[in-house]
């Protein structure tokens, strides 16, 4: 069968042969035992409902073995034989250009060069899934190949509920992930529902088909590192940034450090992912002992090098060793997946990677003890460094939250706030999000590098023109972004699809998108998909990260994210998504995203102007109402530009009256 025929077939009527478990692939760790005997029967019934009854006798034993061995039913047998990558859009079967673009994005999320655990359909973060099993993937792709522009596909946590009649201006796909009743949003609730096959953790851009590899976070990380050094009034050159994690999102850190121009030490316990990041050019060097690391860092400091060094080992050892050896750390953070601390998101010091994987599945209570002991050690070492002048910030990965739950000394004197700020509180919130600057993305679905290069040039020209009349309040942001996009090609950021990320405000996003649409209409470039990270101005309500600089008491509300995805859906988004969890953990955040297909049409031009303006200004208005100074400035400016926009502004109270 051809590739198109395999897509159109969906779940095969004749069972494919059973597949061998590929040990060369980076697999998800075994999930802990959580289902009762009756619940295991229910999980099997749930899995088998995808298949005709004559196949149940053969599949039930196989699925039962997967459930026992891996803690989940992935249906490995049904993993496609074709290579998984984002093909040029015209290679997909279908009746809808928009649906073909979504297939392109789904396959990019599962590309072996992009996905963290591709055979388990997990893109990043240890549990950020596109689908729960391979039957869901096959059925979804089949539906997309059949869809017309008069239908909408409804996705329930990876499960394609079906194609429903709609209309051309409606989203082609509506995605929900992990939308559970609030009282059932604890980590073990997710473990049980995911094992039953009824819910999943979509992370932010995994389950919304908008992940573009580590590039997706590298721009924001670069801005964070640059502004971190600015905050402590240091030039990055010859100075040290220490962090951890080389996974899907955290893997951006060493590349960002190189672009910023500092020395970066990034610890990672997983040898496979360390090797992959080195081969991809996202890190310069790998060292395997603290002795070698100390010597290398001292040499880099002496020569004022720009270099990224991966330490294959535990970050706790780095913090403790550098304290003992009196190596000055200028910036410090952590980007391990502590939203998922008990299932592979964080590995404790003192035991090997292999031992930890066994312990988390076979003795989860002891594993939890080891993780919390390790967090206390790490926090203690960090506190010693900050006493010497290190600027440490929480990278929104729930490090401080989980460290506090472990009893580590990370609380402020009031015992309510954390001792260290979130990077959103200190850097990204007041400098970017309040002014409307966030991670705008686009993907050239032709798969042609020359198309991406043309879009880089177009975006650069638009920003340079806008910068001529931009107010002083946002000139630093404009210049940082112009420098970024001009260096995008030489920094070799592409992994997977021909994609780009660029921090821009509403005006920049609309004008760049319109310029793309005009270039498509002229035949200069092919179809483009617009999107963004959920980690943005409006998309996410997350009290310890995206909305951590909201101080009016509304940090724990989720009105903004819900309004965002509803508003995007009727203003022209091609697909929308809303997730529980993402970045900081299940039950800790609600986040929404979108995708929009540009085809060069007048209709696309109308949709992009309406939707992108709303997508940003929804968040600015909420931040303005919280009395954030930059957001008040930004929303007033937006109202001057758009007479139909009228936002309620806060009146400030004289503190002496209080």
In the chain, the N- to C-terminal Cα span, in Å, equals 74
126 labelled ligand-binding: yes
Calpha distance 2→15 (Å, rounded): 18
| Rg for the chain, CA atoms, rounded | 24
Residue 188 burial (CB count, 10 A): 12
Residue of 230, 249, 273 lying closest to 339 (CA atoms)? 249
Enumerate long-range contacts of 380-388, CB under 8 Å, 24 or more apart.
380/408, 380/409, 381/316, 381/319, 381/320, 381/323, 382/319, 382/332, 383/409, 383/419, 384/323, 385/319, 385/322, 385/323, 385/329, 385/332, 386/332, 386/420, 388/328
Task: List helix spans (H) across 178-289.
Answer: 187-196, 215-231, 252-260, 271-279
268 labelled ligand-binding: yes
94 burial via Cβ count (<10 Å: 0-12, 13-18, 19+): buried
The answer to whether residues 169 and 186 touch, using CB atoms and an 8 Å cutoff, is: no
253 labelled ligand-binding: no
Q: Is 462 left (phi over 0), alpha (psi -120 to 50) or beta?
A: alpha
Q: Are strands 151-156 and 173-177 parallel, antiparallel or unpaired?
A: parallel
Calpha distance 7→94 (Å, rounded): 10
395 labelled ligand-binding: yes
CB crowding 283-310: b at 16 or more within 10 Å, else e: bbebbeebeebbebbeebeeeebbbbbb
- Residue 397 Cα to chain centre, angstroms: 11
Residue of 158, 162, 152 lying closest to 179 (CA atoms)? 158
Residue of 601, 593, 600 lying closest to 574 (CA atoms)? 593
Known binding residues are 125-126, 203, 268, 395, 583
Known binding residues for NAD(+) are 125-126, 203, 268, 395, 583
């Amino acid at each position: 069968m051809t590739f198109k025929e395999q897509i159109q077939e969906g779940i095969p009527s004749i069972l494919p042969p059973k597949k061998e478990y590929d040990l060369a692939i980076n697999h998800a760790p075994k999930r802990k035992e959580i289902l009762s005997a009756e619940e295991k029967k229910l999980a099997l019934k749930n899995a088998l409902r995808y298949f005709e009854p004559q196949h149940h006798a053969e599949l039930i034993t196989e699925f039962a073995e997967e459930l026992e061995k891996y803690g989940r039913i992935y249906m490995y047998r049904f993993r496609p034989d074709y290579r998984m990558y984002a093909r040029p859009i015209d290679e997909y079967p279908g009746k809808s250009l928009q649906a073909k673009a979504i297939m392109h994005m789904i396959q990019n999320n599962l590309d072996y060069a992009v996905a963290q655990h591709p055979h388990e359909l997990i893109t990043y973060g240890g549990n950020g899934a596109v689908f729960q099993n391979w039957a869901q993937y096959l059925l979804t792709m089949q539906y997309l190949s059949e869809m017309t522009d008069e239908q909408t596909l409804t996705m329930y946590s990876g499960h394609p509920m079906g194609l429903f009649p709609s209309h051309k201006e409606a989203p082609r796909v509506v995605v929900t992930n992990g939308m559970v009743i609030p009282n059932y949003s604890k980590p073990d609730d997710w473990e049980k529902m995911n094992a039953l096959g009824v819910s999943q953790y979509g992370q932010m851009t995994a389950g919304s088909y908008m992940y573009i590899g580590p590039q997706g976070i590298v721009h924001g990380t670069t801005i964070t590192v640059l502004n971190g050094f600015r905050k402590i009034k240091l030039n990055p050159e010859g100075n040290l940034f220490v962090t951890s994690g080389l996974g899907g999102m955290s893997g951006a850190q060493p590349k960002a450090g190189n672009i910023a121009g500092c020395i970066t030490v990034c610890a990672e316990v997983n040898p496979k992912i360390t090797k992959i990041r080195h081969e991809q050019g996202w890190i310069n060097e790998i060292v395997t002992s603290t002795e070698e690391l100390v010597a290398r860092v001292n040499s880099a400091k002496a020569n004022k090098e720009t270099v990224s060094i991966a330490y294959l080992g535990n970050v706790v050892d780095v913090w403790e060793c550098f304290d003992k050896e009196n190596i000055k750390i200028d910036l410090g953070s952590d980007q391990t997946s502590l939203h998922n601390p008990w299932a592979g998101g964080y590995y404790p010091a003192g035991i090997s990677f292999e031992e930890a994987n066994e312990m988390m599945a076979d003795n989860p209570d002891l594993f939890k003890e080891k993780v919390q002991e390790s967090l206390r050690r790490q926090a203690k070492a960090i506190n010693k460094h900050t006493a010497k002048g290190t600027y440490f910030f929480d990278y929104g990965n729930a490090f401080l939250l989980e460290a506090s739950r472990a009893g580590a000394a990370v609380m402020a004197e009031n015992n309510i706030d954390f001792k260290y700020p979130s990077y959103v509180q200190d850097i990204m919130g007041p400098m970017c999000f309040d002014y409307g600057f966030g991670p705008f993305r686009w993907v050239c679905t032709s798969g042609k590098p020359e198309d991406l290069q043309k879009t880089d040039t177009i975006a650069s020209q638009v920003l340079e023109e806008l910068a001529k009349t931009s107010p002083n309040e946002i000139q630093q942001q404009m210049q940082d972004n112009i420098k970024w996009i001009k260096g995008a090609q030489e920094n070799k950021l592409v992994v997977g699809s021909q994609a780009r990320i660029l921090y821009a405000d509403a005006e920049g996003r609309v004008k760049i998108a319109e310029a793309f649409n005009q270039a498509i209409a002229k035949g200069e470039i092919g179809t483009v998909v617009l999107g963004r990270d959920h980690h943005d101005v409006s998309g996410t309500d997350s009290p310890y990260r995206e909305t951590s600089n909201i101080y009016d008491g509304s940090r724990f509300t989720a009105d903004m994210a819900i309004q965002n995805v509803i508003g995007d859906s009727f203003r022209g988004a091609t697909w929308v998504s809303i997730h529980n969890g993402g970045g900081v953990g299940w039950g800790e955040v609600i986040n929404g995203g979108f995708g929009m297909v540009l085809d060069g049409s007048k209709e696309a031009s109308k949709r992009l102007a309406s939707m992108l303006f709303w997508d940003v200004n929804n968040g600015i208005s909420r931040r303005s109402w919280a009395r954030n100074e930059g957001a008040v400035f930004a929303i007033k400016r937006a109202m001057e530009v758009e007479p139909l926009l009228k936002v309620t502004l806060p009146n400030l109270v004289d503190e002496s009256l209080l």
